[in-house]
Amino acid sequence: MNMALGSRGGWWPALCVGTAVTIVAVYLLLVASNWIYLGWHDTLYFFSKSRMWERFWLTVWTSTVSTSFSLLIGIPSGYALSRFRFPCHHLVASVIDLPIVVSPAVVGAFLFGVTTRFPFDWISEYYGVYIGRNVYGVLLVQFTVTAAFCARLMKASFDMIPTRFESVSRSLGASPMRTFFKVVLPMAKNGIIASMIVVWARAAAEWEGLMLFVGATEGKTDIMPFAIYLDWNGGMMGWVTSMSIVCILMAVSAITAMRMIGGRSNVW
Amino acid sequence: MKKINTMVVFLVIFSFFLVAQTYGTEKSLLFHAGLGQRMALNEIKEVFEKRYPDTKVNFSYKGSGYFIADITRSEQGDLFMPGEEFYLLQAVERGFLTDYNPKTDVPAYFVTVIITPKGNPKNIKAIEDFAKPGIRVGLGNPKSCAIGIWHEKTFKKAGIWEKVKANATLSAKCIPELGNATQHKAIDGTIVWATTAVLYLRDVDIIPIEYRYRGIIRLPVGVLKFARYREEAQKLMDFILSEEGRGIFQKHAYAVNPGIPIGKEGFCLDGTTDKFMEYLVNAAKAVKDESFPVTKETVGDLAEEVLRQRKTERAGD
């Protein structure tokens, strides 16, 4: 719809556009003022440190792995929630919403409680490892927090697809599995890719659960947001600011890349 | 569609590959340590792992308040070094630490100092100045951080607690909050540990406290009852308590001299730490002024810290 802003009643579109521009300006100002605070010399200094890029890759690979696991769980369960009516399906739907609603700190505390009890304490004792105090703990927290989220988004994606196509495919003799892979999945492609970004970003931003469940080990479990918190505690404003800037750049490039691959969908 | 399929397959294989990485034969110690000790302990870890290559040290850095819950529930961990003796005593009380010896097991101490924003705009020279009207004071919340307890103790001893409380504009939940507030000129002054103050040399001025009001806080370390590698944990603890280990703490502005005379309340009885305070004040000058000489005579063991902070405009590594 192309409405001239000057025409009669044009104040409403103008107001909406103005709001959008203002909020974007506020965000840009936040980034810019932090970058100015850091200064050019320090930007080069911190960006050339290996510590920065170790944290960066740690964040990227942990969230990629946990996102792929979340997708493995999320796609089938999202499909189930969207299409099938099975006993207690309302209950299942509300339980799946839980990790989205409660704070990740709760998830961290629960994971901590579970993994220190039977039978995990035996496993821990037998193999001489501490469960969850290493990078696998990070993956577990990220997965637990995002899996439900992922299922929810997938349900939304599948809900957008009319069931007619499936009925046609089934009536032509395709099995339910074949229908899913050949008809539903390709149609849901954009939704899946868009949800993947959200899930990935959620995993990369996770730290409350980590704080309770994992604790920080330098270079092993301190993904970006956690490292930012640690350095804030250590008074290292240079690191805090430069890592925040890297986080923002990371987010922007991930979103842009996914947009270019996936095009538009109902989430974006 | 093909693209997604290949992508998913690739991701799954990639993740199994990562999960399949097995643990080596090395022994890895789990060390519960307070966030504040991070810089010094990381250095200790480096030296220790070089000396004993088959032992790895894994820190679980958290705020000191988190630890008791963690240890109670998990009964895991080899060593424990919280940011205050209080937390360690809690562990002793619950039987997690059986052989704590308060006389020998304290490798380092915090010392209290005044910090103000760069240039000391309100001209704070002694703790009495915090009672003057119009000074924005940052205080710690005694319920959530140890520095808050020391604020109360110190100002009460000076008889100005009520006035200082009236001046307070910030109730901090943790000590870095006080440092950050001073750095960004949100408060005119506060009292913090020397180890915190030393992180902000470029942006704050350091004013030593007269020794009668100068607090010395004990930082003990202990091997936990359920340590998996007791022998290795003991080795690391001995290393922390050795001359060399203490030397590393000293480089990060901890007091390490076990002979500092301390009164019952925890305040200095004489000027033994005066020299250390002088080093700290000089270090703050040296970071701001490139021409200030950085030698053993001017800044003592803080030289490394000064040179580190000179490298960047904003504090970092």
Convert the pLDDT of each residue in B145-161 to its tens digit.
Answer: 788 889 999 999 999 99
Joined tokens for residue B310: 């000179």
Torsion, Cα A122 A128 A130 A134, to 10 degrees, reads: -140
Q: Judge: A51–B196 Cβ closer than 8 Å, yes or no.
A: no
Q: Is B263 left (phi over 0), alpha (psi -120 to 50) or beta?
A: beta
Tell me what pLDDT residue A18 has. 94
Q: What is the pLDDT of residue A211?
A: 83
Q: Using DSSP, state whether A133 is helix, strand or coil.
A: coil
A90 min Cα distance to partner chain B (Å):
30
Tell me which chain A residues have a C-beta less than 8 angstroms from the C-beta of B66: 211-212
C-alpha distances in angstroms, B39 versus B195, B218, B234? 10, 18, 21
CA atoms within a 13 Å half-sphere pointing along the CA-CB vector of A211: 22
Point out the residues of chain A with pLDDT beneath 50.
Answer: 268
At A6 the pLDDT is: 62
C-alpha to C-alpha distance for A51 and A45, rounded to whole angstroms: 11
Report CB contact under 8 Å: B23, A37.
no
Q: Which residues of A touch B82 (CB under 8 A)?
A: none
Instruction: Give CA–CA dist B23/B199, Å, rounded.
Output: 36
Do B87 and B64 contact (CB within 8 A), yes or no? yes
Q: B36 CA to chain A: closest CA distance, Å?
A: 7
Confirm if B178 and B189 have CB atoms less than 8 A apart: no
Q: Collect all residues of chain B within an 8 Å Cβ-Cβ radius of residue A67.
A: 11
| DSSP annotation of B213 | G
**pLDDT computed for residue A265 by the predictor:** 54
The letter for the amino acid at B251 is: K
Dihedral sign of CA atoms B255, B256, B259, B263 in order: positive
Q: What DSSP character marks residue B314? A: S
Q: What is the pTM of this model?
A: 0.78
**Which residue positions in chain B have pLDDT lower than 70?**
1-25, 63, 315-317
Is residue B136 a contact partner of residue B178, using CB atoms and an 8 Å limit? no
Which residues of chain A does B79 touch, with a Cβ-Cβ cutoff of 8 Å? none
Mutate to test the interface with A, among B44, B74, B196 (most CBs of A within 10 A): B74
Angle between helix axes B303-310 and B274-288 (nearest 10 degrees) is 20
| Minimum CA–CA partner of A183 in chain B | B1
- Which residue, A249, A261, A232, A255, is CA-closest to A31? A249
CA dihedral angle for residue A89, residue A93, residue A95, residue A101, rounded to 10 degrees: -170
Identify each DSSP E strand in chain B by its residue range. Answer: 27-34, 55-62, 79-81, 108-117, 137-140, 168-172, 190-193, 204-207, 216-219, 222-223
List pLDDT tens digits, range B238-272. Answer: 999 999 999 999 988 898 887 888 888 888 888 88
Q: How many CB atoms lie within 10 A of CB B93?
A: 10
B199-208: string of b/e by CB count within 10 Å (b at 16+)?
A: bbbbbbbbbb
pLDDT of residue A237: 83
CB contact under 8 A, B18 and A61: yes
Distances (CA, A) of B112 to A63, A173, B11, B190, B218: 42, 80, 52, 10, 12
